[in-house]
Structure 1
Amino acid sequence: MRAVVRPAYRRPLLWWSGTRVLLLLWATTVLPWFSHGSEIGDVAIYRGWAELMQTGTFPVHDTQWQYPPAAALVFLIPQWATHLGLSYILAFFLFALVADFAVLALLVAHADRNAAQRCVDGTEHAAHLGGVWAWILGGFAIGPLLLMRYDVIVTALAVGGLVAPARSVRARWSVRGALIGLGAMVKAWPAGLILGLPPKGPGRRAVAWAAGTAFAVTAALSLMMSGAFSFLGGQSSRGIEVESVLASPFMIASWFGYPVKVVHEYGAFQISGPGVNALASFAELLTVLGLGLVLWWRLLRFKQRAWTPALMYDVAFTVVLVLVVTSRVLSPQYLIWLLGLTALVFTENAPTRRATVLARPAMLVFGCVLVTQIEFPLLFGEVMGGQFWGTMLVAVRNVVLVVACVLSLRALWNSGPADPADPADDETGQTRPDSLAQATHGR
């Protein structure tokens, strides 16, 4: 983590600082921004939840409460910070900013380790910072929303669960597993990261720590507050949100007279009309099918000796992309999840180290990230009203995400061993037999 302050990484640190100062000034209205009210509302909701949770109960009667138990910690930490004289909203922004910096530091440290591993005969290689720049510029493209939702905090836990450093292999995978387990109890999607974990000891250790952490945190919060599992009912009742992939055909069909309207339910703008409820039920089947393909690949096609850290990031990227594309909801902040994993894929796509198989899908997703502020909040009124430009922008973005998802699943399905440049796997502390044989053969 100390790598981020080294002189070699001064330029990205300065760019991150400059862009984040602007985001913070826009978020706090010190500088005017074209749509502050449409984004600040969620933080006000978080504050109300935090005040209620301090009384010992989850907001069980609020239809907008749809989060796992550990999300309470995310909302309560800014509330505790108000005792220092900060407002809840400013405290939340600062909390999100710390998580944003944590992702930056993890990406820089990871790129630095990759560069160190490529040193041969004393020859130093500059770290490939494609992922670092993707996080800096992509986060700025998402806009103040980056600090106004808690998704950046979950993303920091997920990225840490994949690349957090430690002195020993055992400690490394224990820490990573614990972060994945905590992330899953804050917002469920990090649980899918276990599909890419390494085989044998390190992977089993990470899964054990993930399960143990998730159980311990959930049990503790259940004892301290009532209604810890009330979020399950809220999730199952949600319909198709207006920005989701499944909503786009209905919104386009409304131009030709199909009876679709937008209603506000469960804290989201959802579509209502003939066939919508049936498709909403079908969405869960699509999610199961998509994740089933990844699981099938892992159980039947994956070869243990082919595992690499880059493959783990590819699997994580694919899993989360499947979840986003098949979800009944696709809020703009979901792109923050994908941005963090896209940055990891880019980090592995160095000119001298093309370890990833998902560089092209990651580029497509990054393109979708760049138009986030245009879609929300700039054209969100048109999206809700089914007008041409807003609806088409969302539809095109969704098509690109679907294409990226299909390409990712296909590339993962066809993936084989990465370039065996180094016979020793620094991540697991084990020697890769295929790499050793080919490395010896080349001498």
Structure 2
Amino acid sequence: MTPSQMPPPPARVRIPAPAPAPDPGAFGRRTRSAALVASWLATRALMLHLLVADRLGVGGVTGEVYVLYRRWYEQLGTGAFPFGDPTWQYPPGAGVIMLAPALLPFLTFFQAFTAVTVGCDALIARALVRAGARPGGSVAGAWLWVAGLPLLLHIPYGRYDVQVTAIAVGALLALRRRPGLGGALAGLGALVKVWPLLTVIGAPPGRGARRALLGALGSTAALLAVLALAFDHTLDFARQQGGRGLQIESLGGTALQLAHLLTGHPGRVVYRYGAMEFTGPYVSALATLSLALTGLALCWLLFWRVRARRWTVAVPLDAALCAVLLFTVTSRVISPQYLIWLLGLAAACLTSHQTTQRPVARLLLPTAALSALAFPCLYDEVMAGSALGTCIMAARNTLLLTAALLSCRRLWTSTVTASTTTQR
């Protein structure tokens, strides 16, 4: 049989590949993501409504943006930082935040500032979702931020602390894989409001810690040099810090409120340095004690850093929350917007299943709600030192102090005591 007479080869039959089995968890993940987005949209719409109305309690939450921030914005537009202004108490990096609304020239200053703040809020939520999606991660952090921030009502959108928290959260989440970048962000945040520098306290020892520290020092020096060349009076803010007194919402202020309520302490409440502060007997002593306790808190953190032996991916997150809690409770000033920082750091902790700070994060939720109840809802009662106002502040500060002590204990036992027990 010649080749031409041979029968054609049989046609190849293609057997279709089996369809991939459906992922049973995909639908659940999409549902949870949709619920998270819907919750963010709903709660932020409510916060914006409260901000525009600004009628809760004593009101005046938007006054910071309409009056103070706008005045600073106009002053910075002349090429100089506020000079001799007792309300300007922030490092020069804060000037960058104040000038950010200029990126949206088609909006009024208030609208542009609010848009920038809401955008930073969304960035934090997105960063927390991505961190929680990593192996060993959890979306609990994103949920804490989405559900916890509205407990402060519209205060977060009437201050620039959401922007600062975005820098700090970004620094913490970058510290694990890119310590140099994490340190650089922490340094930039330190030039905006100092406390973000504490995010490097828990950097993993060795090469990572050195990179983080060098990144922080490098970015701080670079930004400071740029601002010093571009603006006049760059360091004038430091003059206003030394004269700060004891704010009525601080732990020392609560002690004086209780003394006034129970024993008739003759102290008075006056408006100074952009806050309501106590004047009278024992005020100076309590302010000095607060500074001393801040120094002791720093010493404890350094001692913990030396003694810590067990490091997990959650330790940098936990240490940052612990450090900022300590510096908050020992401060002469505790404004309600400080809870924005703490909620952001607690949310970062909850992105890891290995965190030790879950009970601390839960304590911060009622603490935030009480802060908003004190200001703006019942701030007239707080200023008057009434029984109701004093009880609210005492409860808020008791929760805050409890959270700080619990955070210290859990950080110590997980990194020092646990490693000592293992070695034995």
Q: Same fold (TM over 0.5)?
A: yes
- How do 1:235-384 and structure 2 match up within 5 A? 235-255=241-261, 256-299=263-306, 301-303=307-309, 306-348=310-352, 353=353, 355-384=354-383
Contact 1:308 1:418 in 2 (8 A): no
| AA of the residue aligned to 2:281 | P
User: Distance in 2 between the 1:194 and 1:373 partners?
Assistant: 29
Q: Call closer, same or farther: CA 1:27–1:322 in 2, change over 3 Å.
A: same
Q: 1:8 to 1:136 in 2, by over 3 A?
A: closer
Residues 29-88 of structure 1 show CA distances to partners (whole Å, capped at 9, x for unaligned) of 3xx74258420111120110010111111102110000001100000111342x2x2110
Aligned to 1:66: 89
Matches of 1:212 and 1:149 in 2, distance apart? 28
CA 1:165–1:190 in 2, change beyond 3 Å: closer, same or farther? closer
Q: Distance in 1 between matches of 2:316 and 2:162?
A: 21
- Cα distance in 1 for residues equivalent to 2:175 and 2:249: 37
Partner amino acid, structure 1, of 2:39: W
Asked whether the 8 Å contact 1:28–1:90 carries over to 2, the reply is no
Deviations 1:187-246 (A, max 9, x none): 000111121111112221121111111111011001111111111111111000010111
Note if contact 1:294-1:409 (Cα within 8 Å) is conserved in structure 2.
no
Aligned pair count? 390
Q: Report the CA distance shift for 1:419/1:252 in structure 2 as closer, same or farther (over 3 A).
A: closer
Quote the residue 1:439 is aligned against.
Answer: none
Contact 1:240 1:280 in 2 (8 A): yes
Distance 1:102 1:165, change over 3 A: farther
- For the aligned residue pairs, the C-alpha RMSD in angstroms reads 2.1
What TM-score does the superposition give when structure 1 sets the normalisation length? 0.84
Greater C-alpha Rg: 2
Identity across matched positions, percent:
38
The whole-number CA distance in structure 1 between the counterparts of 2:69 and 2:117 is 13
Instruction: Supply the distance in 2 between the matched residues of 1:364 and 1:22 (Cα, whole angstroms).
Output: 24
Q: How does 1:23-42 map onto structure 2 within 5 Å? A: 23-29=47-53, 33-35=55-57, 37-42=59-64
Structure 2 match to 1:18 = 42
Q: Which residues of 2 match residues 6-155 of structure 1 at below 5 A?
A: 9-29=33-53, 33-35=55-57, 37-43=59-65, 44-81=67-104, 83=105, 85-113=106-134, 117-118=135-136, 128-155=138-165
Answer whether contact 1:106 1:164 (CA < 8 A) is retained: no
TM-score by length of 2: 0.88
Contact 1:307/1:417 (<8 A) preserved? no
Q: 1:28–1:297: structure 2 CA closer, same or farther, 3 Å change rule?
A: same
Aligned-partner Cα distance in 1 for 2:132–2:125? 11
Q: Distance in 2 between matches of 1:7 and 1:360?
A: 27
Deviation at 1:269, TM superposition (A): 0.3
What residue identity is the alignment partner of 2:89? Answer: Q
CA distance in 1, matches of 2:174, 2:39: 23
Q: Secondary structure at the match of 1:309?
A: coil
Distance across 2 between alignment mates of 1:342 and 1:365: 8
The answer for the alignment partner of 2:210 in structure 1 is: 204
- Once the 2 structures are TM-superposed, how far is the Cα of residue 408 of structure 1 from its aligned partner? 1.7
Q: Output the amino acid matched with 2:326.
A: V
Q: Could you report, residue by residue, the CA deviation over 1:114-160 in whole angstroms, capped at 9, with x for unpaired residues?
A: xxx25xxxxxxxx6322211111111111111111001110010000
Letter in 2 for 1:10: A
Unaligned runs of 5+ in 1: 119-126, 421-434, 436-443
User: C-alpha separation between the residues in 1 aligned to 2:350 and 2:406?
Assistant: 16
Counterpart contact for 2:58–2:380, Cα < 8 Å: no
Deviation larger for 337-346 or 260-269: 337-346
Contact 1:47 1:79 in 2 (8 A): no
Structure 2 contact 101–116 (Cα < 8 Å) conserved: yes
